[in-house]
């Protein structure tokens, strides 16, 4: 089946990048660098704002030091809690990691050929991920397939759109895309609750159930499900 659409919006983890690429490669890169980054960039408004949010969310007193803040952040990563201030700090650290050559993104093998084909066919694409926009752009700038930043016209995260499991976030993204009819936006994600929220906003949805990924055996309800982007056909006509 070919979906005739105006936009494709893609999730990252589990949809185009293996979960291990985020939870092992990127999280392990961030873990030892969080404390030093906070200490070295205390006056950066992004860092100061993130630290204030972490204190508030975790109920830490003003007197709590970097070690206590980092312990909270490690706990959130262990629990895969994608809290916005954590994603802000990770994104800054990853930006540096990609720029220095420490990090290079790797996607599922079907992803880059498919995205390049859609781009060549004039299909507009955007990303909606819990990873910060800064982290997203950095991750597409240095990949095993070269710089892929030109494939995407927009990037959305939990700051400029909202939580991924709330329909209002998808309505905000539609507005950010210039207000196409919601049924002309196709969202691709591995998480059924995200697909539910997109569908509640009137979007078209396809679930990615990739073998070996955490949501491979999940109940996708009424959402169409594929195992690879090779099984997704889109056109703008």
Q: Which residues bind ligand L4RZE5RM (CB under 6 A)?
A: 11-14, 22, 26, 82, 87, 94, 129-131, 135-136, 139, 164
Which residue's CB is nearer to ligand L4RZE5RM, number 64 or number 167? 167
Cβ at position 67, least distance to ligand L4RZE5RM in Å: 23
Cβ at position 227, least distance to Mg ion in Å: 15
| Contacts with 208 (C-beta within 8 Å, 6 or more apart), sequence order | 11, 14, 15, 188, 189, 190, 225, 226, 227, 228, 229
Q: How far apart are CA 83 and CA 149, in angstroms?
A: 25
Is the separation of the CB atoms in 9 and 202 below 8 Å? no
Binding mask 166-195 for Mg ion (x = CB under 5 A): ------------------------x-----
Choose among Mg ion, ligand L4RZE5RM, none what residue 213 binds, the Cβ cut-off being 5 to 8 Å by kind: none
Which residue's CB is nearer to ligand L4RZE5RM, number 189 or number 232? 189
Contact between 213 and Mg ion (CB under 5 A)? no
Is the separation of the CB atoms in 140 and 168 below 8 Å? no
Which residue's CB is nearer to ligand L4RZE5RM, number 67 or number 98? 98
Cβ at position 124, least distance to Mg ion in Å: 21
Q: Record the tokens describing residue 184, joined without a space.
A: 């002309």
Task: Identify the CA nearest to 185 among candidates 165, 196, 166, 171.
Answer: 171
Cβ at position 235, least distance to ligand L4RZE5RM in Å: 25
- The stretch near Mg ion (CB under 5 A) out of 7-15, 67-75, 80-88, 173-181 is 7-15
Q: How far apart are CA 191 and CA 33, in angstroms?
A: 29
Contact between 14 and Mg ion (CB under 5 A)? yes
Cβ at position 202, least distance to ligand L4RZE5RM in Å: 21
For residues 212, 214, 218, 223, the Cα torsion angle rounded to the nearest 10 degrees is -90
Task: Identify the CA nearest to 37 among candidates 26, 48, 27, 52.
Answer: 48
Residue nearest to ligand L4RZE5RM (CB): 131
Task: Identify the CA nearest to 179 among candidates 54, 15, 46, 7.
Answer: 7
Q: How far apart are CA 151 and CA 107, in angstroms?
A: 14
Cβ at position 156, least distance to ligand L4RZE5RM in Å: 10
Which residue's CB is nearer to Mg ion, number 19 or number 143? 19
């Amino acid at each position: 089946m070919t979906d005739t659409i105006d936009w494709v919006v893609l999730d990252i983890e589990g949809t185009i990048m293996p979960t291990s690429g985020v939870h092992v490669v990127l999280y392990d890169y961030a873990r030892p660098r969080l404390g030093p980054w906070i200490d070295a960039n205390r006056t950066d408004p992004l860092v100061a704002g993130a630290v204030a949010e972490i204190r508030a969310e975790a109920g830490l007193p003003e007197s709590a030091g970097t070690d206590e803040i980092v312990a909270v952040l490690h706990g959130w990563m262990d629990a895969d809690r994608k809290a916005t201030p954590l994603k802000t700090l990770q994104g800054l650290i990853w930006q540096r990691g990609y720029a220095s050559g420490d990090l290079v993104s790797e996607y599922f093998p079907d992803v880059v050929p498919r995205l390049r084909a859609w781009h060549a066919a004039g299909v507009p694409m955007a990303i909606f991920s819990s990873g910060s926009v800064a982290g997203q752009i950095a991750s597409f700038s240095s990949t095993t397939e070269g710089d892929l930043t030109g494939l995407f016209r927009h990037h959305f995260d939990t700051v400029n759109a909202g939580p991924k499991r709330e329909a209002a976030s998808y309505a905000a993204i539609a507005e950010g895309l210039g207000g196409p009819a919601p049924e002309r936006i196709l969202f691709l994600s591995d998480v059924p609750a995200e697909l539910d929220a997109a569908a509640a906003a009137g979007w078209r949805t396809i679930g990615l159930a990739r073998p070996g990924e955490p949501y491979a055996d999940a109940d996708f309800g009424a959402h169409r499900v594929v195992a690879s982007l090779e099984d997704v056909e889109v056109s703008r006509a």
